[in-house]
Chains A and B, each alone.
Chain A
Amino acid sequence: MLSQESLSRIDREIAKYPADQKQSACMAALRIAQEEKGWLAKEAIEDVAAVLEMAPMAVYEVATFYNMYDLHPVGTYKLTVCTNLPCQLSGGVHAADYLKQKLGIDFNQTTADGKFTLKEGECMGACGDAPVVIVNNVRLKSFMTPEAIDKLLAECK
C-alpha cells in the first residue's frame, strides 16, 4: 500500500479537478507513487487505481505511455541525458558518452552497485543549457561539462 503521506499528497492533487474527474490526478498520483517506491511495480499501479477509482488497466496505459515512469527498478540515481539535435550540437551526445565511460554502463543499464541508471531522454525544453542531465526526473542540471559531470557523480552518495 502507499504510505499515508503519499495518499494525502494524492488527495491534494485530486482537489484540483472537478469532483467527478478524479482520474485527472492519475499522472501526479503515479509520480508520487514512483517517488515513494522508487519504481512502479504492478502493485503500485493497482494502488493508484484503487485510490482514483479507475480500472487498473487505465492506469497501466498511462504509466506505459509517458516515458518518465519507471516500470522496472532503477538505480538510486537515474540520470537522463538529452541527445536530441539542439543538445547534440552543444555536446549532448558526448556528455552521454562520457557518462557511459565513467559509469561503465550503456543507456538503460544500471551499475552493479545499484547506484546509477543511465537513460537517453529527449527534449527537456532546456536546449540553451546543453548538455543537460536530469537527476531522478526532477532535478535538471545545466551546462554539463566533463568537470560538472565529475562533480555531480561525486555528489551522488
Chain B
Amino acid sequence: MAIIDAINATLTAGWKGDAGWNLKEYEARGGYQSLKRILTGDKLTPDQVIAEVKLSVLRGRGGAGFPTGLKWSFMPKAAPVKYLVCNTDEGEPGTFKDRDLLAYDPHSVIEGMIIAGYAVGAVAGYNYIHGEIFELYERFEAALAEARAAGYLGQNILGSGFNFDLFAHHGWGAYICGEESALLESIEGKKGQPRYKPPFPASVGLYGKPTTINNTETFAAVPLVFRMGGQAYLELGKPNNGGSKLFSVSGHVNKPGNYEVPLGTPFAKLLEMAGGMRNGRKLKGVIPGGSSSPVIPADMIMDCTMDYDSIAKAGSMLGSGAVIVMDETVCMVQALERLSWFYYEESCGQCTPCREGTGWLYKIIHRIEHGEGRPEDLDLLLELGGNIAGRTICALGDAAVMPIQGMLKHFRSEFEYHIEHKKCLVPREVQKAGSTFHTRMMAGAAC
C-alpha cells in the first residue's frame, strides 16, 4: 500500500511505491539537494539551519507537536559528543504513516537526519524501528549502505569536513519504547522503562550525552523545508501549523490508508478522500490522534479541521495523525475495553499507579461490558483515572486514562445502558456486521 491520496502532495510527491525507494530514484526527485545546498552550496551555518526550521514552524509529527527548530536549539553547543535519534517505533494504535515513509522514501529520513545532525552537532544517529515492521528495518539498512557509498554519510561528508554516521536499531515488541526516554534505554540494551524528566534528552540523553529525538515524519519533512524555503513550507499549512501532514485513516472507511493533506484541512474532506463511510453507514465517533486521544463524536468532528489547534479545541489531540473512524456498529464499551487491555498489557510496570491502575481500569470496563457493571463504576473509573494521570514518570498513565475520560464525556449513556440492562446498546449481530472479515467469512461459509 502506498499513499492513497493527497492534496498538494509535497512530502510524498514523486513516490513510486516499492520501485522508488532507492537512492537513484530519490535523487531523481530532488533528493539530497537540500543537504548539498546546506553543506557545499550556500554553506549554511548550523544556526542558520535551525533558524530556517524555526521559520517553517515544522512541529513534531510524533504526537506532541513540539516546534522542531526550538527543540534543536536546546542542544548545548559546547558538548563534544552529541547524538541524534529517530523514533520509528510506531506503535500507537491507529498510526501507520512512518511505515510508508520507510517503505517508499527512506532516504528522505536519512537526509533529514544528516541535516539535523549537522544543525545540532551530533557525531552519530540511530533510527529506532518498530520490530513488527522488520522488513523495513532491513530496507533502511540497505538505504543506509547506499547513502554511505555515495558519500552522504561517514567522514568528511561531501568534502565539507562534517562527520556523521547513522545506524538502524530495531525494537522487538514494546509500545512503551515509543516514549523517547524508554527508547533511549532500549538503544542502550536495557528494558524500555522511561526515565525521569528533567533532565531532558537535550541535556542527558543516549549514553548520558546530549541527544535530539524526532519522529520519522519530522525528519522526512526537513529536506522539504530547505527545498521549498521555510516561509513557503509554513504557508502550506496554517499559521503556527507549518506544512502538510500524513494522516493514517483506519477503521470504518472505504479506503483505509495514508493521506497527505495540509494542516487545517477539514475532517469532512479527509473522510471524503478516504472513500467515505464503509457501506454508507452512519459515523458515530472518531479517535483523531491515535488510541490515547479522547474520542470526538460525529457531529463535533465534522466541524473540525485537522490541525493541532482545532482538534485541541474539540477536547482531543491531533497526536500522530492516526484517525480511527467508527461507525454505528461500534459498541463504545467494547471499544474502550479493548483499548484498556492494551494499556494494561503495555504498562512497563515501573510506576505503581500505572502498573496497578491500568489493570483496575481494564477489570472495571471488562465487567461493565460483560453485564456485571455496578452503578458506581463510572465515577470509580474517573476517580481512579485521576489517581493515575499525572502521577507517573511517563505519559502512558495519561494515555490509558484519556480515552476513558473521552468516552465517558461523550458516550456516558451507552455505559449506563450497559450497567442497567446488562447488555450492549448495539446488538452483537450489528457489531459483527461492522467487520468486513466477518461478512466475507459468512458469505463464503468457510467455517
Q: Are A89 and B326 in contact (CB under 8 A)?
A: yes
CB-CB nearest in chain A for B132:
A124
Enumerate chain A residues within 8 angstroms of B441, measured Cβ to Cβ: 94, 98, 146
Question: Which listed residue, A27, A30, A62, touches B169 by the CB 8 Å rule?
Answer: A27
Bound complex: CA of A101 vs CA of B445, how far in Å? 13
- B217 interface residue (CB < 8 Å to A): no
In this complex, the interface size class of chain A, counting residues with CB under 8 Å from chain B, is: 35 or more
Query: If the complex has contacts A68-B173, A89-B251, A98-B437, are A127 and B93 also in contact, measured as CB distance less than 8 A?
Result: yes
Contact with B along A27-64 (1 / 0, CB 8 A): 11011000000000000000000001010001001100
Bound complex: CA of A140 vs CA of B132, how far in Å? 8
Enumerate chain A residues within 8 angstroms of B266, measured Cβ to Cβ: none
Q: Are B435 and A125 in contact (CB under 8 A)?
A: no
Enumerate chain A residues within 8 angstroms of B132, measured Cβ to Cβ: 68, 121, 123-126, 134, 140
Enumerate chain A residues within 8 angstroms of B404, measured Cβ to Cβ: none
Chain A proximity of B104: nearest CB distance (Å): 14
Interface segment among A3-11, A15-23, A71-79, A110-118: the answer is A15-23
Q: Are A67 and B326 in contact (CB under 8 A)?
A: no
In this complex, the interface size class of chain B, counting residues with CB under 8 Å from chain A, is: 35 or more
- B59 interface residue (CB < 8 Å to A): no
Query: If the complex has contacts A90-B435, A125-B130, are A139 and B249 also in contact, measured as CB distance less than 8 A?
Result: no
* Residue among B135, B436, B444 with the highest chain A CB neighbour number at 10 A: B436
Question: Which listed residue, A83, A90, A95, A134, touches B251 by the CB 8 Å rule?
Answer: A90
Query: If the complex has contacts A125-B96, A128-B248, are A24 and B169 also in contact, measured as CB distance less than 8 A?
Result: yes
Q: Are A86 and B250 in contact (CB under 8 A)?
A: yes
Chain A proximity of B301: nearest CB distance (Å): 16
Q: Are A86 and B131 in contact (CB under 8 A)?
A: no
Enumerate chain B residues within 8 angstroms of A83, measured Cβ to Cβ: 338
Query: If the complex has contacts A90-B436, A145-B440, are A129 and B1 also in contact, measured as CB distance less than 8 A?
Result: yes
Bound complex: CA of A14 vs CA of B435, how far in Å? 45
Which residues of A approach B to under 8 Å, CB–CB?
A: 16-18, 21, 23-28, 30-31, 52, 54, 58, 61-62, 65-69, 83-95, 98, 101-102, 121-131, 134, 137-140, 142, 144-147, 150
Q: List 20 A-B contacts (CB under 8 A).
A: A23-B190, A24-B187, A25-B189, A61-B190, A66-B173, A67-B172, A84-B339, A85-B287, A85-B339, A90-B256, A91-B438, A122-B342, A123-B342, A125-B133, A126-B132, A127-B248, A128-B250, A130-B256, A137-B131, A145-B437
